[in-house]
Amino acid sequence: MSGHSTYQPQSAFMKWMEARLPIAGLVHSSFIAYPVPRNLNYWWTFGGILAFLLGAQLVTGVVLAMHYTPHADMAFNSVEHIMRDVNYGWLLRYLHSNGASMFFIAVYIHMFRGMYYGSYKEPREVLWILGVILYLLMMATGFLGYTLPWGQMSYWGATVITNFFSAFPVIGDMITTLLWGGYAVGNPTLNRFFSLHYLLPFVIVGVVVLHVWALHVVGQNNPAGIEPKGDKETVPFTPYATVKDSFMMAVFCIIFAWFVFYMPNYLGHADNYIPANPAVTPTHIVPEWYYLPFYAILRAVPNKLLGVIALFGSILILAFLPWLDSSKVRSARYRPLYRQFFWIFFVVCILLGWLGAKPAEGGYVIAARILTIYYFAHFLIILPLLGMFEKTKPVPNSISESVLGASQTKA
Amino acid sequence: MLDKRFVRLFIIVANTLLHYLYKGANKRPSDRAIPLQDRLRPARPLPSATPHRAVVTASRPVGFFGAMGRSSVTTMSSAGHSRRDFLYIATSAVGAVGAAAVAWPLIAQLNPDASTIAAGAPIEVDLAPIAEGQAIKVFWRGKPIYINHRTKKEIDEARNVNVETLPDPQADQARVKAGHDQWLVLIGICTHLGCIPIAHQGAYDGFFCPCHGSVYDTSGRIRSGPAPLNLALPPYEFVADSKIKIG
């Protein structure tokens, strides 16, 4: 994917193959000889971790689908059947449900890394937008998957989220009926959600291919936020990036395993172990943790339609980030003011997540409103203005200079 | 084989059609400028106005499909271009109609199926066992329907408000059947995001939605919170003094 391949097939078979389907050359140029900036830090390992998690979710998901029954009367029991009867079913299900949470932890780190180091800036706009699309697909897949156990939170989460669309005038009710396949969330809904939950991960795989392709066209950003100058500032992907990615992946898997084996339900909700009951709404309904900041934004707006618009807008605004951030300097290292605003924004996102889990009353709502306004102001006011008024630090001439310091490179 | 006969028929029809159209298209200004005998002479270089390759060995334009199977005949005259245009447009048009015809059932299948609609038939509810001050919940079309036997106090509360001050102004009289003022029948789905409000709760003694804090009064009208509208009323009628038919 990066120019001409330097791959030299050794065996007769590989020479024969390369002349017909140069897949080994493609892999070689993309993941072995591919040049990566030599100053990448550990925050750059999450792309690989995400790829691993996608594969893990696909494998555990396909296996779970062999034991699960997508029917309103049987879904809940079939999940319990997986937990109790199926060999290692408990492990596979906990890997899958916690894997989803790990997926979102990794993607949030990946996104905040991109925001900190300005990875979305020219020429990486399309790469970034593909990432936003992947994030949206992940959210949709996560939501669909959460409905499948058909517990109370599954059912009411599905009800609340499908009702987002009823906020739109005229076409709203038509859309919700299409989503439900009935007059309310019911068996037809569960059936189609299962089908779509199985489909979307493969769509994600497709967009990941585009994401990696776009990455290999423009090359990776790096902590200095400057393009590598020549071969001396890059190292081959293998062994340098491979071993760094693998090491971090192992560390990440330890955390993953810790959740799976010691606190498998910590990130879930106890109410989802109650079978779905269309007659009773749980008194305190919350989405999965990874949607909480957006849920807080939804509830902060007192108008239904505007709340839904704010919710979708808070995600879609990310796609416009490359043009909202007017600064020419990429990395926050050389942007003293942006660095502070970045961390404020980070804290605002965490606080919104915390508020999303709190009941929508009193001071919580007021706090959520202030933070919602700040969330949008960060993108629409602070970032465009910072580019105009911020006095940035001098950007080093090369990656070597940024690593070794200006004095040493002169010698 | 039947298939082959169809193909042959199609070729004949298409050839006739194309031949007819070819004659019409032949009257384009660029084509008219070149005499037919010039266009059919392979050795002579073509004028720059028609840069098409013109290796024509047939003495007259042959049908597009007729050319198939005759390996020596290569019909690539300037006029062939207009026939290709026709094919593009005709194929695209048929393709677009076909795509729409397939998209329709693919989307329509998402709508409620026959069994779901059948299960949504009207239901009858006997009101006699519902005591004054009691609220019951029945299901119709998968939706919870609240039937409240309102007390005198609750009715008065619903009627002693200035309707104009409400977020979704509607008189209590318009939300119950005349002569059955004590019976409040409504769809128990919060108009915000679809949770079920709890009866006899909240500041207005009506309904309170635990999800996002919407408060409804004893007439099911929205009083505070994020919900935009009053609780909806299902279609229903009194079939007897103490029996209603919902749906």
Q: What is the CATH number of the domain that holds A165?
A: 1.20.810.10
pLDDT digits (tens, 9 = 90+) for A208-240: 999 999 999 999 999 999 999 988 899 999 999
Query: Among A279, A312, A342, which residue terminates a domain?
Result: A279
Beta carbons of A285 and B195 less than 8 Å apart: yes
Chain A residues in contact with B213 by the CB 8 A cut-off are 359-361
pLDDT in tens, B141-171: 989 999 999 999 889 888 888 888 899 999 9
A33-37, A248-252, A292-296, B154-158 — which is least confidently predicted? B154-158
Pick the last residue of a domain from A279, A296, A327: A279
Claim to verify: residue A275 and residue A305 sit in the same structural domain? no
Answer yes or no: do A316 and A375 share one domain. yes
Distance from CA of B136 to the nearest CA of A (A): 11
Cβ within 8 Å, pair B226-A307: yes
Query: Comparing C-alpha atoms, which of B3, B246, B6 is closest to residue B127?
Result: B246
Query: pLDDT band at residue B78, thresholds of 50, 70 and 90?
Result: low
**Which of B67, B95, B111 is the last residue in one of the domains?**
B111
Q: Which long-range contacts (CB under 8 A, 24 or more apart) does B231-235 make?
A: B231/B146, B231/B186, B231/B187, B231/B188, B231/B189, B231/B190, B231/B191, B231/B197, B231/B207, B232/B186, B232/B187, B232/B189, B232/B191, B233/B175, B233/B185, B233/B186, B233/B187, B234/B140, B234/B143, B234/B145, B234/B185, B234/B186, B234/B187
Would the CB atoms of B210 and A282 count as touching at under 8 Å?
A: yes
Distance set, CA A396 to CA A115, A165, A387, B146 (Å): 20, 49, 19, 70
d(CA A225, CA B209): 50
Tell me, yes or no, whether B134 and B77 share the same domain.
no
Check whether B35 has a pLDDT greater than 90.
no
Same domain, yes or no, for A261 and A307?
A: no
Average model confidence (pLDDT) across chain B: 78
Give A305's contacts in chain B (Cβ within 8 Å): 228
Residue B47 lies in a domain: no
Test A185 with B142 for CB contact under 8 angstroms. yes
User: CA-CA distance, A205 to A308, in Å (whole number)?
Assistant: 28
Q: Which residue of B has its CA nearest to A356?
A: B212
- Number of domains observed in the structure of chain B: 2
Tell whether the model's pLDDT for residue B41 goes beyond 60.
Answer: no
Q: What is the DSSP letter of A151?
A: B
Predicted pLDDT of residue B2: 52
Residue B72 lies in a domain: yes
pLDDT computed for residue B21 by the predictor: 59
Q: Residue A409 falls within a domain, yes or no?
A: no
In this complex, which of A160, A299, A303 lies closest to B194 when CB atoms are compared? Answer: A160
d(CA A149, CA A79): 6
Average pLDDT of chain A is: 93
In-domain check, residue A8: no
Residue B210 and residue B230 in one domain: yes
Residue A362: what pLDDT? 80
Please report whether residue B44 resides in a domain: no
pLDDT reported for residue B64: 44
Contact at CB, A186 and B116, closer than 8 angstroms: yes
Q: Is residue A406 part of a domain?
A: no
Calpha distance A119→A115 (Å, rounded): 6
Q: Which pLDDT belongs to residue A321?
A: 97
Q: Which residues of A touch B196 (CB under 8 A)?
A: 279-281
Q: Above 90 in pLDDT, residue A87?
A: yes
* In the predicted structure, residue A366 carries a pLDDT above the cut 90: yes
Q: What percent of chain A has pLDDT over 90?
A: 83
Number of Cβ within 10 Å of residue B186's Cβ equals 24
A283 touches chain B (CB under 8 A): yes
Is B39 inside a domain boundary?
no
- Whether residue A291 sits in one domain with residue A333: yes
Quick one: B210 and B92 in the same domain?
no
**Closest Cβ–Cβ partner in B192, B210, B228 for A283:** B210
Q: Given B52, B149, B180, B212, which residue is catalytic?
A: B212
| Inter-chain residue contact B228 with A166, CB threshold 8 Å | no
User: How many residues appear in chain B?
Assistant: 247
Contact (Cβ atoms closer than 8 angstroms) between residue A285 and residue B210: yes
How far is Cα A318 from Cα A312, in angstroms, rounded to an integer?
11
State whether the Cα torsion B202-B207-B209-B213 is positive or negative. Answer: negative
Of residues B236 and B27, which shows the higher confidence score?
B236
Q: pLDDT confidence of A342, banded at 50, 70, 90?
A: very high
Identify the residue whose tokens are 């790469």: A127
Tokens of B60: 């007259």
Q: Which domain holds residue B200?
A: 119-246
Nearest residue of A to residue B139 by CA position?
A279
Whether residue A114 sits in one domain with residue A47: yes
Does residue A163 sit at the B interface (CB-CB below 8 Å)?
yes
Q: Is residue A122 part of a domain?
A: yes
What is the pLDDT confidence band of residue A304, given thresholds at 50, 70 and 90?
confident
User: Could you tell me which residues of chain B have a Cβ less than 8 Å from any Cβ in chain A?
Assistant: 107, 110-113, 116, 120, 137, 139, 141-144, 189, 191-196, 209-213, 226-228
**Residue A31: closest CA among A236, A243, A257:** A236
Where does a domain end: B111, B130, B154? B111
Same domain, A88 and A183: yes
Residue B97: pLDDT band with limits 50, 70, 90: very high
Evaluate if residue B56 carries a pLDDT over 50. Answer: no
Active-site annotation holds for B52: no
pLDDT score of B203 more than 80: yes
Residue B93 binned pLDDT confidence (cut-offs 50, 70, 90): very high
Confidence of residue B57 (pLDDT cuts 50, 70, 90): very low
Of B143, B191, B227, nearest to A184 by CB-CB distance is B143
Q: What is the pLDDT of residues A8-49, one digit of tens each?
A: 899 999 999 999 999 999 999 989 999 999 999 999 999 999
DSSP H helices in A151-186: 152-163, 172-180
- pLDDT at B4 (0 to 100): 67
Residues A262 and A319 in one domain: no
If asked whether residues B22 and B85 sit together in one domain, one would say: yes
β-strand partners of B184: B148
Among candidate residues A233, A257, A279, the one where a domain is terminated: A279
Out of B120, B139, B211, closest to residue A160 by CB: B211
Tens of pLDDT, residue by residue over A164-213, are: 888 888 898 899 999 999 999 999 999 999 999 999 999 999 999 999 99
Residue A96: count of CB within 10 angstroms of its CB: 20
Decide which of A302 and A53 is more confident: A53
Q: A214-251 burial by CB neighbour count: b if 16+ within 10 A, else e?
A: bbbeebbbbbbbbebeeeebbbbbeeebeebbeebbee
In this structure, are B101 and B130 located in the same domain? no
The answer to whether residue A14 sits within a structural domain is no
A282: preceding bond cis by omega (within 30 degrees): no
> Are A275 and A291 in a shared domain?
no
> Is there a single domain that holds both residue A267 and residue A299?
no
CA distance A326 to A330: 10
pLDDT band at A3 (very low <50, low <70, confident <90, very high): very low
Say whether the ipTM exceeds 0.85: no
pLDDT at A117: 97
Query: B143: which chain A residues are within 8 Å (Cβ-Cβ)?
Result: 183-184
Residues B104 and B126 in one domain: no
- Statement: residue B49 has pLDDT above 70: no
Whichever domain contains B162, its CATH number is 2.102.10.10
B86 DSSP β-pair partners: none
Q: Do B141 and B172 belong together in one domain?
A: yes
pLDDT of residue B22: 59
Would residue B65 count as lying in a domain?
Answer: yes
Confidence of residue B77 (pLDDT cuts 50, 70, 90): low
User: Is A392:A327 a contact under the CB 8 Å cutoff?
Assistant: yes
- Is the Cβ of A179 closer than 8 Å to some Cβ of chain B? yes
Statement to judge: residues B168 and B233 lie in one domain:
yes
CA-to-CA distance for B115 and A303, rounded, in angstroms? Answer: 36
Question: Based on the domain organization, do B125 and B242 belong to the same domain?
Answer: yes
State the Cα–Cα distance between residues B207 and B175, nearest whole angstrom. 15
Whether A404 maps to a domain, the answer reads no
Tell me if residue A69 falls in helix, strand or coil: coil
**Contact with chain B for residue A253, Cβ under 8 A:** no
Q: Which carries the bigger pLDDT value, residue A400 or residue A245? A: A245
Helix A125-147 vs helix A89-116: crossing angle, to nearest 10: 150
Looking at residue B66, its pLDDT comes to 42
Q: What is the pLDDT of residues A307-323, one digit of tens each?
A: 999 999 999 999 999 99
- Amino acid in position A259: F
Q: Does residue A240 sit in the same domain as residue A317?
A: no
Answer whether residue B43 is part of any domain.
Answer: no
pLDDT band at A361 (very low <50, low <70, confident <90, very high): confident
Give me the CATH number covering residue A347: 1.10.287.980
Task: Tell me which of A155, A183, A294 to substitute to probe the interface with B (most B C-beta atoms closer than 10 Å).
Answer: A183
Residue A6 included in any domain: no
pLDDT value, residue A230:
86
CB B165 within 8 A of CB B146: no
pLDDT tens-place string over residues A94-144: 999 999 999 999 999 999 999 999 999 999 999 999 999 999 999 999 999
Residues of B in contact with A180 (CB under 8 A): 112
Provide CB contacts within 8 A for B68, sequence distance 6+: none
Contact B193 A159 (CB under 8 A): yes
**In A, which residues are within 8 Å of B122 by CB distance?**
none
How many domains is chain A partitioned into structurally?
A: 2
Shared domain for A97 and A123, answered yes or no, is yes
Kindly state whether A305 is in contact with chain B, defined as any CB-CB distance less than 8 angstroms: yes
> Touching check for A10 and chain B: CB below 8 Å?
no
Give a yes or no: residue A227 inside a domain: yes
Residue A405: per-residue pLDDT: 73
Of A246, A266, A259, A205, the closest CA to residue A59 belongs to A205
- Between CA B238 and CA B245, with CA B240 as vertex, the angle to 5 degrees is 40
Residue B59 confidence (pLDDT): 45
Residue A7 has a pLDDT of 87
Write the residue in A181, A299, A307 that is nearest to B113 by C-beta. A181
Give one DSSP letter per residue of B81-137, joined into a string. Answer: HHHHHHHHHHHHHHHHHHHHHHHHHHHHTTS--HHHHHHT--EEEE-TT--TT-EEE
**Residues A153 and A291 occupy one common structural domain:** no
Contacts with A279 from chain B: Cβ below 8 Å: 137, 139, 144, 196
Q: Which domain holds residue A330?
A: 286-391
